[in-house]
Amino acid sequence: MTELSRRAATLRALHRPGDPLILPNAWDAGSARAVAAAGFPAVATSSGAVAEALGHADNEATPVDEMFAAVARIAAAVPVPVTADLERGYGLGPAELVDRLLATGAVGCNIEDSDPRTRELCDVEEQADLLAGVRAAARAAGVDLVLNARVDVHLRAYGPPEGRLAEAVRRARRYRAAGADCVYPIVLADRAAIRAVVAEVDAPVNVFARPGAPAVAELAALGVARISFGTGVYAAARARTVEMLAAIRSGGEVFPAGD
């Protein structure tokens, strides 16, 4: 087994319903090292946080070479598996996407089912074909990477509210059949809805930790297998930086007084 294959197997095994993999998403090598040093067994990137740290916007506005270079620096910085947020693939075909991902040292990826530029949901069969192509390319490369299929029904407020849960479940089931390891109904926060997705989709479920969502312990009790923080840690770091800069500029207290 190659090192990449070993890391992919390790990452896949960390997706345990009821004992979720917790991913405080990183944006550079330093933040990735901090995540690993804190004891988290894997590192995930956040496309939004990486983009902003590089001076770009999210929604595939980052040049693809810069995004993959950032993922490579993160993967090289830590001894744990890395999974990359690749939005909808930056316009790359499945074979090139997988080749470039594996070249970074990452062994997992998120692929979303809405167009990052138009915010429109993609056709479910078109998305299933993309996921199946990524799965096939990974197997051809000899690494069974961990494929997390993001479901954007609630994020994009697709269709009438009363039909969104059923549509999210339909899409999640189709993506699982196409080869996804995990499904990610992003921004879904209602407890009953999360419980329904866990029960109705034969796949590990990823939930986005955010204000208004159930706490980590409650998500575990609901059977969630993966919890992502997205840009949350990056935003908190940015907010603390702004506070410190304001204190420095005003001549106020920056560090706690020593004994």
Q: What is the pLDDT of residues 134-156, one digit of tens each?
A: 999 999 999 999 999 999 999 99
Instruction: With CA atoms as reference, report the closest residue to 12 among 132, 182, 216, 128.
Output: 182
**Model-wide pTM > 0.85:** yes
Among 3.20.20.60, 3.40.50.1100, 3.90.1150.10, 3.40.1190.20, what is the CATH number of 3-250?
Answer: 3.20.20.60
Length of the chain: 259
Domain boundary assignment for the chain: 3-250
pLDDT classification of 253: cutoffs 50, 70, 90: confident
Q: What pLDDT is stored for residue 62 in this prediction? A: 97
Spatial distance between the Cα atoms of 249 and 252, rounded to a whole number of angstroms: 8
Residue with tokens 């051809």, as numbered in its chain: 140
pLDDT classification of 259: cutoffs 50, 70, 90: very low
